[in-house]
Amino acid sequence: MPEWDKATEKMLVRTARKGDKEAYGRLYDHYAPLVFRFLFAHLDDRQDAEDLAVEVFMRVWRALSGYRERGAPFGAFIFRVARNALIDHYRRGNNSDLPLEEHHADGGQSDPAEALPARLERDKVRQALSGLRGEQRVVLELRFLAELSTEEIGLVMGKSSGAVRVMQHRALAALRKRLEELEVSNG
Amino acid sequence: MVEGRAKSEKILDRCLEASRSGGQDPKEILRRQPEQAEALRPELEAASWLHEKRQGFVAQPDFAQYSAQRLLAGLHKPGLSLRQRFLAWKDGQLGRQLFWNNPLLQAASLVMLGFALYFSLGSIGRASQFWLPGDVFYPIKTVQESAQLTLAVRAAEDASLHIEFAHRRLLEVQSLAMEERHAQIPRTVENFRWHVESAVRAVRRVAARDPRQGQVLAEALQGVLSEQVDLMRLLASLAPLESQVEFNRVRFISQDGLSRIRDFLFPDEDAPDGGARDSLQFCWVGAVGVT
């Protein structure tokens, strides 16, 4: 995210905490697509992912008083709320207390207007990721879909950067293996 | 092997970060680490695949724009439901947790706490010697003493501590008398008695194994029990009637303690000649002022 200046972000967050919705809107413009990507990796329905992304930002707005700039980057805070929102979404929708990592889309109800190849590609990714252990999957999603740094991922998951690097390494090794298995099983 | 793995993880992370931020070329990083390049090939291939596929998850081009209106409408809505209020509190806690999870902040907090504890405990330790029974912080002094006794493993340590604490109780009795805080004296004298009895038992245990060490401890106890005698006699003569009883009790406790450690003051099997012994006895009797 080279064009997104962290100093600007700090200023916007500070202003938003005082109630400035326009400043918050700018933060939303930047982070909403990333949050959507993260959520869409778990939710098969695009509309659900969009609705939940908006809900995440409403929750972040209401919880802004709890955020401290010196604590962690704002992105880490947003994705922590996003992760919790996803868990709440599953609990409400599925009446399930399974951890986030146990849930994944089954490719059943995609947007009918969307091109088939795009959907199939997405399903392939979900299928590959579903073979990973829960935390490994989340690390890859936050790294590649949400585009967070190792430090930010550590803050979202409550782990050290070193631990995240280890998980990341193992997750990619596992993903590689999974892809080989899928290739073999698909002929 | 652990170091090699850690190095691989770091290089992999640098490559991924380079791809993410668009800074350094990942190939350049790997060119400088040719042995790692081969080892990391499977992971980098998986990363490359995932990076390519992420395009399938992008939002619609105008998603941010049309959803922002929905967001603003939601932000302008007055009042929150009970669930929304609960979620606002819960998500606020996440923000606070992130603040306190900051490793630098945690380290700084621990260092400050350590300093605060060190200085406060040191100050407490120094100040405690002046606290008397009935003072607000006196329990801290007795708790410290109890902790020391609990931690004493050997009989010699136990004896030394009881001798020290018996001495403290004596000084407290004197201070209480001088400050005319007579109500606290009986309890303090009782504690004095307990420390003397415990010291005597511990000295016996030590002497049974090591007569020389037993003698040293017995002499220390003798010093404590005999040095305050004259002052106790003076205080008894000046104190109210109810406290006179307590000061006399201190003298009897001292006398009793001394009589019980007498044998350990002379550990040699050959008893000193009768005359010398008599004179020592005379000195001993004179020391506690038995009339």
Yes or no: say if B40 and B30 are a contact pair by the CB < 8 Å rule: yes
Lowest-confidence pick of A94-103, B166-175, B178-187: A94-103
Sign of the dihedral through C-alpha B75, B78, B84, B86: positive
B68 and A28 within 8 Å at the Cβ level: the answer is yes
Q: Write out pLDDT tens, residues B69-124.
A: 888 888 877 767 767 777 777 777 777 666 555 566 667 767 776 666 666 666 66
What SS3 state is found at A130?
Answer: helix
CA–CA distances in Å: residue A186 to residues A180, A181, B91, B98: 10, 9, 43, 43
Residues of A in contact with B95 (CB under 8 A): 63-68, 71, 77
The span from the CA of A61 to the CA of A24, in Å, is 8
Alpha helices in chain B (DSSP H): 2-21, 26-31, 34-39, 41-53, 63-76, 82-101, 103-128, 138-151, 155-178, 185-209, 211-227, 229-238, 241-265, 274-288
> For an interface test with B, which of A5, A45, A62, A121 has the most B Cβ atoms less than 10 Å from its Cβ?
A62
What is the residue-level pLDDT of chain A in tens, covering all 187 positions? 345 677 888 889 989 988 888 899 999 999 999 999 999 988 888 889 999 999 999 999 988 877 776 667 888 889 989 988 888 887 776 444 444 554 444 444 445 556 778 888 888 898 899 888 888 998 999 999 888 888 888 888 888 889 999 999 999 999 999 998 888 776 5
Cβ-nearest to A80 among B44, B51, B94 = B94
Answer yes or no: is pLDDT of B281 > 60. no
Render B252-275 in DSSP notation, one character per residue.
HHHHHHHHHHHHHH---SSPPPHH
pTM score, two decimals?
A: 0.54
Cβ-nearest to A80 among B59, B98, B105 = B98
A72 and B70 within 8 Å at the Cβ level: the answer is no
ipTM value greater than 0.90:
no
Distance in Å, alpha carbon of A81 to nearest chain B alpha carbon: 6
B16 and A168 within 8 Å at the Cβ level: the answer is yes
Mean pLDDT across B217-227: 87
A121 and B53 within 8 Å at the Cβ level: the answer is yes
Among A residues 14-53, those touching chain B with beta carbons less than 8 Å apart: 21, 24-25, 28-29, 32-33, 36-37, 40-41, 46, 50, 53
Residues 6+ positions from A151 with CB-CB distance below 8 Å: A73, A161, A164
Q: Tokens 């922590």: give the residue.
A: A80
pLDDT of B278 reads 36
pLDDT band with cut points at 50, 70 and 90 for residue B183: confident
Cβ-nearest to A175 among B50, B68, B95 = B50
Residue type, A91: R
Distance in Å, alpha carbon of B210 to nearest chain A alpha carbon: 56
> For an interface test with A, which of B48, B71, B89, B93 has the most A Cβ atoms less than 10 Å from its Cβ?
B71
Residues of A in contact with B22 (CB under 8 A): 2
Total Cβ atoms within 10 A of residue A184: 8
In terms of C-beta density within 10 A (0-12 exposed, 13-18 middle, 19 or more buried), how is residue B104 classed? exposed
Between A71 and B176, name the one with better pLDDT: B176
In terms of C-beta density within 10 A (0-12 exposed, 13-18 middle, 19 or more buried), how is residue B66 classed? exposed
Distance in Å, alpha carbon of A29 to nearest chain B alpha carbon: 6
Q: Write out pLDDT tens, residues B29-54.
A: 777 777 777 888 888 889 888 888 88
What SS3 state is found at B130?
Answer: coil
- % of residues, chain A, pLDDT over 90: 27
The span from the CA of B169 to the CA of A37, in Å, is 74
Cβ-nearest to A58 among B16, B51, B75 = B75
Q: Is A175 on the interface with B (CB under 8 A)?
A: yes
The span from the CA of B227 to the CA of B233, in Å, is 12
pLDDT of B99 reads 59
> Residues, chain A, total?
187
Cβ-nearest to A172 among B47, B91, B102 = B47
Q: Of A167, A118, A92, A177, whose CA–CA distance to B83 is shortest?
A: A92
Distance in Å, alpha carbon of A41 to nearest chain B alpha carbon: 7
